[in-house]
Amino acid sequence: MKKILLFLPILFLLSIVSCVNDKTSTTYSTNPHIEEFYFNEHTKIAGIENVKFTIDTVACIIYNEDSISYDCDLSRVLPVPVSYESLNSIKVNGEKWNYKDTLDMTSPITISTISGNKKRSAEYTVTVNQHKIEPDSIIWVKSLIKESSISNINSSSYNNKVYIFFSNNSGESKIYASDNGIDFSLKLSVADLNLNFYKSIIHNEKCFVASNDNASLFYLDLSDINSGFKQITLPENAEIVDLWGVLNGKLFATLSTDSPIYMSFNGTEWVEENCNMLNELTALGSAKINNDNTLYIISGSLDGKLTNNVLATQDGNYWINTINQSDTLLYQPVKNACVVDYYDYFYICGGITKNNSIATSYYSRNDGYSWLPLKSYQRPANGFTPKENISSCTLEDYIYIFNCSNTSNIEVWKGKINRVDFIKK
């Protein structure tokens, strides 16, 4: 009898320990939120599994910043939502979903989740941004500036304004500026300069222009535009061969007395610089652009012949030729063209070929490595014909082309690439 009584307390303690162990081994998920979202691979939609989605767990929204191609069929796709913890249930547009059925995501859907312990829930709106028209197309609007007999033109943007600097056949130089990039008003007339310029460089607030006879150089500060042009003294007996660009606060140029000299101007004095490609830096029709502290010289001539080189430098002294010299990846050699950097691409616009015909426009990744002809849905339509006398610049999400001839008005073409409309703000 004593043995039985002794066994009962031991059995009771074991049952308590067993209950405690059972209780601690049972856990319930409490987080209903989605940690990752992507598409499952689809045999008929190449690369859909690589679409990157952003998940905002505060606003409970899921979206892709880089929009999907306009011809992608989203009517039967399989999304993969990955939760932080296991869920009790998940619904799509109010209906239970088993993670296996494809969904129509041509319009936003609602994903509702309930945590494992059934005490917390979340409701996400999922939007798949998709191009409505051809991807990377550019939508254009046109206006005019009533100026004729334009001999040379250049443009730039600075301090949220777009500037056009031009001279006409009467020897007048003028600047137009615009706050909205389409309606330009006259800001400064500098006819007293009597400058029919040929070479000019505009970078940020710095505007340098050389006279048509190459004997004089002038400077304009766009941050104090009403102060007008100031003359920069050249070295004795020097003439300007070409202006290349501004790097690290210095203007790089080729000057000439008896032979070409590569020099820089730091605001107070001229200094002779070393250059490993002086022969390739020539005066005929080279388009220049500053991009991420790199100066690019596109096209030009060598030994009297047009080239399709793309020369680049980060210090103004050491240059490399970045273009791929494959016959299929070159642009047509051109002179008097302009180049603009817009959304990670270089665009070559206007200019003429060695046969004196209007050049085809090209685009390239902004390393200038390989080039393709500009597609029809990227070019301005409705009467746009590129001229030799042309300029281009960008401001925020927009690209601007200023197109004119010696007799016509200045055409102002303002474009916006399709994809920027889909970026979630």
**pLDDT the model gives residue 196:** 63
Residue with tokens 């920027």: 420
In-domain check, residue 192: yes
Tell me if 91 sits within 8 A of 97, measured CB to CB. yes
Examine the domain organization and report whether 169 and 310 are in the same domain: yes
- The string of DSSP codes covering 269-308 is -EEE---TTGGG--SSS-EEEEETTEEEEES-EETTEE--
**pLDDT, tens only, 68-119:** 877 788 999 999 999 999 999 999 999 999 999 999 999 999 999 999 999 9
Query: Cα–Cα distances in Å, from 396 out to 141, 201, 400, 416?
Result: 16, 21, 11, 10
Inter-residue contact 6 to 57 (CB < 8 Å)? no
Higher pLDDT, 168 or 205: 205
- Flag whether 20 is in a domain: no
Count of residues in the chain: 425
Which one is predicted more confidently, 420 or 365? Answer: 365
176 and 316 fall within a common domain: yes
pLDDT value, residue 90:
96
Task: Assess whether 110 and 160 both reside in one domain.
Answer: no
Nearest Cα to Cα of residue 380 among 394, 406, 397, 400? 400
Is there a single domain that holds both residue 317 and residue 181? yes
**CATH number for the domain that contains residue 264:** 2.120.10.80
In angstroms, rounded to a whole number, what is the distance separating the alpha carbons of residues 4 and 347? 96
Decide if 10 is inside a domain: no
* Residue 23 placed within a domain: no
Distance CA 106, CA 130 (A): 9
Residue 386, pLDDT above cutoff 80: no
Q: 């601007």: which residue's tokens?
A: 400
Quick one: pLDDT at residue 116? 93
Is residue 177 in a domain? yes
Beta strands in 30-182 (DSSP E): 34-39, 54-56, 61-63, 79-83, 87-92, 95-96, 109-115, 121-127, 138-145, 150-158, 161-168, 173-178
Give yes or no: residues 119 and 150 share one domain: no
For residue 93, the model assigns a pLDDT of 96
What are 385's strand-pairing partners? none
| 177 and 84 co-located in one domain | no
- Residue 5 maps to a domain: no
Tell if the pTM clears 0.85, that is, is over it.
no
Strand 150-158 and strand 260-265: pairing?
unpaired
239-288 pLDDT tens trace: 998 899 999 889 999 999 888 899 999 999 999 999 998 888 777 778 89
* 410: number of Cβ within 10 Å: 23
Same domain as 145, residue 119: no
**Is the model's pLDDT at 11 over the cut of 60?**
no
CB atoms within 10 A of CB 183: 10
Give the integer Cα–Cα distance in Å for 282 and 236.
21
- Whether residues 260 and 317 fall in one domain: yes
DSSP secondary structure of 221-274:
EGGGGGG--EEEPPSTT-EEEEEEEEETTEEEEEEESSSEEEEEE-SS-EEE--
Show which of 127, 161, 187 is a domain's final residue. 127
Residue 254 is assigned to a structural domain of this protein: yes
- Which of 127, 154, 169 is the last residue before a domain boundary? 127
The closest alpha carbon to 66, from 52, 45, 76, belongs to 52
CA atoms within 13 A on the CB side of 119: 5
| Mean pLDDT, rounded, for 334-350 | 89
Number of domains in the chain: 2
For residue 117, give the CATH number of its domain: 2.60.40.2340
Q: Give the integer Cα–Cα distance in Å for 157 and 163.
A: 6
For residue 19, tell me if it sits in a domain: no
Q: Given 127, 152, 180, which residue is the final one in a domain?
A: 127
Exposure of 146 by Cβ count < 10 A (0-12 exposed, 13-18 middle, 19+ buried)?
Answer: exposed
Domain holding 40, by residue range, is: 34-127
197 and 341 share a domain?
yes
The verdict on 318 and 202 lying in the same domain is: yes
Residues 116, 189 within the same domain: no
Residue 404, SS3? strand
Q: Within this chain, do residues 154 and 63 fall inside the same structural domain, yes or no?
A: no
Phi first, then psi: give them for residue 56, nearest 5 degrees.
-105, 105
